[in-house]
Amino acid sequence: MKKNGRRLALVVVVSVVALILSACSTATASSSGGIKGQSLKGVKFAFAISDSAASVDVTQANVFVQQAKKLGATVHVYNNNGDAATMLSNSALMVASKPNVIVDYPSVADATDRVGQAFTTAGIPCIAINVPIQGCSFFNFDETALADLGAEAMAKQMKARGWNGSNTTVIIGQASELGESVNIAVTSFYSKLSEIVPGMTKVKASDIGPSTTKINSQGLQVDVGLTLDQGYSTINSALQTIPTNRNVVIYTVADDATQGALRAVAAQNRSSTTMGSGYGGEPAAFDAIRTGNVWVTDQIGFFPYWGEFVLAMAVAMHNGVTPPPLTAPSQVVVDKQNIDTYFKKGTADVTTMPAIPKESEYLLKTGILQKFGNIEGVTN
Amino acid sequence: MTNQVELNVAKAPRAPRFTLSRLPATAVVGTFLVLVIAVFSITADGFLTVGNATTIVSTASVIMIAALGQLLVVISGGFDLSIGGMIPLAAVLFSSLTTSGWPMWSALLACLIIGVIVGFIHTFFIVFLKVNPLITTLATLSVTGGIGFILSNGQTLAVPGDAGVLGDQVIGTLPWHVLVMVLLVIVVHLLLQHSIFGRRIYMIGGNSEAARIAGVRVTLIGGSAYVLSAVFAAFAGVVLASQLLAASGAVGSDITLQSLAAVVLGGAALTGGRGSVPGAVIGVLLLGIIANGMTILLVPSFYQQVVSGIVLLAAVTFSRLQERAKRVS
């Protein structure tokens, strides 16, 4: 009995030492993260698309798959099909295929806890795109940072027209179905704008809740959703509450919603006293920014190009790097002045993306982003 | 004893007694509409203005057009869920065709033809093969919605300015499509109330077997309701694209439930044989006014959903009570 107890203690000590050593080796790997010999031969990735009906999601996956295959990796692609049940069954299939890294793009948040459990239990490193998954590293826009840039750009436009807190009402349009992780963009936008526009009463983002509608006497929060028609009908009604002698600034989290909102503005003949800002980099937004004076800025996180950032992140994780809480892509706010710096003149085709945020600079060490050669200052 | 009492009662002069069943189907919901308008007029600054009235009518116009088709199908004893797929499909098709240089009227005609084809598909499955309308129109909702996404490739398409005539303003801020909608409302009302076709739709909705025995061509009349519904939905899609000067696979996809809610609010019975154009108009306006008024009052959107649901439930409950009262009397 005594002998057994000693053996057990020895096993426990050896296990603890092994665990500590493995943790140390992971920590050491964090400092490297480059591709050994620029090859991913023998590496296997599993990639679940949010919904293959959305072409932009497919583009994202294609960028990832093509480059990974070129480097010798195997990629199994799954389609979460926009629903939680499919996402859950895909997670089981992905775990069973035993990849080195799993990339999962949930279309809804409903199944993320269960999916996270499956990945964590299997001990496979995983990346969650856009919607957090418990236990996975997270890749997404830095919503707050992008919204702050958006507010700064809008404040510049307001200053040029002589608009301030005394003559302007700011409408922020949330998309209630997307929850706090996305709608923090609208509250952050308002908060930052209130800090820098003269005459606006300062408001903290945390003071604007999902049910807040009136923000002192200078702002409104409405639910414009993500679609053209909801943006149109909501703003059509909301404009009734704003006297026609006040200027209006509209900010939403989707270009479609902004497009619908600005149609409502035009229908009420208030375009000359309105400025709008969108989110997403849709061709319609670019046309409007280049040719008109109502849609003045657009927040862009280069969504279709996320595949290259995510591949770099997957490779870094495969090499033992522990990513920061949020890895973000290049982000920019475009206006009439800078739009042709990042996009080919007259089109929505990217020529160069701005430098990646500081917290994402570890991606550069993998050498993946250099292969695409489309980020400012990053060359092969 | 009982006979004597009845005799005495019969002798007494009868006072007109209020019963639920005596009320016209649209009277209560109409009264409620007036009440809602009165409340918002008092509480919501800027509600009772010409500008806001125009806003309400122009926002409700697309739903009204779709609801007219839904009404025909509901009266005939079915319902059409595919409206939510037909609208984006027509909007995207209209946008694609006009962008590629088709004249606006030709693009409109092409969309209406697609509506006719979808209507014929419904007729074939629902009226000929007797497949449940819920399943059939759910399937075509998926198919038409999917084709809309395929055509648009998941993108938002622009509609050229000169093709968006229906969305252009004609009187003040009132757009053309509102005038067209009013015309359609009058035409469908006349069709239902003053034509043989209209009476037969009511007949087959009330009892299709009895209508068949009475010589009504159930297949033709029932099928026509589905064809008209799909055509109205296609037209609603074109109007929506003209109004927004843009279209996508997701645009207007939630109009199915709004149109169904509006016709039921207006007194139509989901069992068929009952419903009217004035009722549907009141239903659409009631939903539109509640949404508009609550937005002006800055009621959070979550509460708006709750209120809209309660109003619908109240209207359907009342309709059910009225039906029961009619049966008893």
Q: Which residue has the higher pLDDT, B324 or A286?
A: A286
The CATH number given to whatever domain includes residue B116 is 1.10.3470
* Residue A76 pLDDT: 92
Q: Which residue has the higher pLDDT, A184 or B24?
A: A184
Does B327 reside within a domain? no
* Residue A23 pLDDT: 39
Residue B289, chain A, CB below 8 Å: the answer is no
Q: How far apart are the C-alpha atoms of B129 and B139, rounded to whole Å? A: 15
Mean pLDDT of B26-36: 86
Nearest C-alpha neighbor of A214 from the set A169, A268, A260 = A169
Tokens at residue B142, please? Answer: 């998926």
DSSP tag of B209: H
φ/ψ bin of B101: left (φ > 0), alpha (ψ from -120 to 50), beta (otherwise): left
* Residue A13 pLDDT: 53
Domain count, chain B: 1
Closest residue in chain B to residue A57, using alpha carbons only: B154
Q: How far apart are the C-alpha atoms of B248 and B250, rounded to whole Å? A: 5
Reply yes or no on whether the pLDDT at B146 is more than 60.
Answer: yes
Confidence of residue B51 (pLDDT cuts 50, 70, 90): confident
Mean pLDDT of B230-245: 94
**Which residues of chain A carry a pLDDT beneath 50?**
1, 8, 11-12, 14-37
**pLDDT of B70-94, one tens digit each?**
999 999 999 899 999 999 999 999 9
Extents of the domains making up chain A = 35-141+303-330+354-372, 143-300
DSSP tag of A378: B
* Strand duo A247-252 + A168-174: pairing: parallel
Q: Give the count of beta carbons closer than 10 Å to the beta carbon of residue A84.
A: 18
User: Which among A240, A256, A284 is the nearest to B55, CB-wise?
Assistant: A240
One-letter amino acid of B162: D
Q: How far apart are the C-alpha atoms of B166 and A8, rounded to whole Å? A: 83
Tokens at residue B2, please? Answer: 């009982």
Does B159 reside within a domain? yes
SS (H, E, C) A321-377: CCCCCCECCCCEEECCCCHHHHECCCCCCECCECCCCHHHHHHHHHCHHHHHCCECC
Cα-based distances in Å from B20 to B26, B280, B295? 12, 20, 33
User: Which among A234, A255, A282 is the nearest to B295, CB-wise?
Assistant: A234
Cα-based distances in Å from A66 to A39, A72, B31? 14, 10, 64
- For A16, residues 6+ apart whose C-beta sits below 8 A from its C-beta are none
Q: Are A238 and B295 in contact (CB under 8 A)?
A: yes
Residue B329, chain A, CB below 8 Å: the answer is no
* Residue A19 pLDDT: 44
| Predicted TM-score of the model (pTM) | 0.75
The interaxial angle of helices B218-244 and B196-206, nearest 10 deg, is: 110
Q: How far apart are the C-alpha atoms of B55 and A267, rounded to whole Å? A: 9
* Residue B9 pLDDT: 46
Q: Domain range holding B107?
A: 49-320
Closest residue in chain B to residue A241, using alpha carbons only: B296
Tokens at residue A298, please? Answer: 């657009």
* Residue A88 pLDDT: 83
Confirm whether the ipTM is greater than 0.85: no
Mean pLDDT of B250-279: 89
Tokens at residue A267, please? Answer: 């229908």
Tokens at residue A210, please? Answer: 């999902």
**Which of A50, A171, A228 should one mutate to test binding to chain B, selecting the residue with the greatest count of B CBs within 10 A?**
A228
Question: Is B296's CB within 8 Å of A240's CB?
Answer: yes
Q: Give the count of beta carbons closer than 10 Å to the beta carbon of residue B220.
A: 13
Reply yes or no on whether the pLDDT at B173 is more than 90.
Answer: no
φ/ψ bin of A327: left (φ > 0), alpha (ψ from -120 to 50), beta (otherwise): beta
Question: Is B243's CB within 8 Å of A269's CB?
Answer: no
* Strand duo A168-174 + A274-279: pairing: unpaired
Does B258 reside within a domain? yes
Does B313 reside within a domain? yes
CATH (residue range A143-300): 3.40.50.2300
- For B21, residues 6+ apart whose C-beta sits below 8 A from its C-beta are B322, B325, B326, B328, B329
* Residue A234 pLDDT: 93
Q: How many CA atoms lie within 13 A of B89 on its CB side?
A: 26
* Residue B303 pLDDT: 84
Min Cα distance A162 → chain B (Å) is 27
* Residue A86 pLDDT: 80
Q: Are A361 and A353 in contact (CB under 8 A)?
A: no
Q: Spell out the alpha helix ranges (H) of chain A.
A: 2-29, 55-70, 84-96, 112-122, 143-161, 180-196, 228-238, 255-267, 283-291, 306-318, 339-342, 368-372
Residues of chain B in contact with residue A246, where contact means CB-CB under 8 angstroms, are: none
Tokens at residue B125, please? Answer: 């499955």
Does B16 reside within a domain? no
* Residue A109 pLDDT: 62
Question: Is B156's CB within 8 Å of A284's CB?
Answer: yes
**pLDDT of A103-161, one tens digit each?**
999 866 667 888 898 899 999 999 999 888 989 999 998 889 999 999 999 999 999 99
User: Which among A54, A227, A284 is the nearest to B158, CB-wise?
Assistant: A284
Min Cα distance A348 → chain B (Å) is 13
Q: Which residues of A63-79 are buried (b: 16+ CB within 10 A; e: fewer)?
A: bbbebbeebebbbebbb
DSSP element (H, E) containing A83: none
Lowest average pLDDT, out of A269-273, A301-305, B165-169, B320-324, goes to B320-324
Q: How far apart are the C-alpha atoms of B64 and B292, rounded to whole Å? A: 16
* Residue B95 pLDDT: 95
CATH fold of A35-141+303-330+354-372: Rossmann fold (3.40.50)
Domains A35-141+303-330+354-372 and A143-300 share a fold: yes
Tokens at residue A235, please? Answer: 């703003």
Q: How far apart are the C-alpha atoms of B84 and B237, rounded to whole Å? A: 10
DSSP element (H, E) containing B246: strand B246-247
Reply yes or no on whether the pLDDT at B182 is more than 70.
Answer: yes
Nearest C-alpha neighbor of B36 from the set B264, B206, B265 = B265
Closest residue in chain A to residue B248, using alpha carbons only: A228
* Residue A9 pLDDT: 55
**pLDDT of B1-20, one tens digit each?**
344 444 444 455 555 565 65
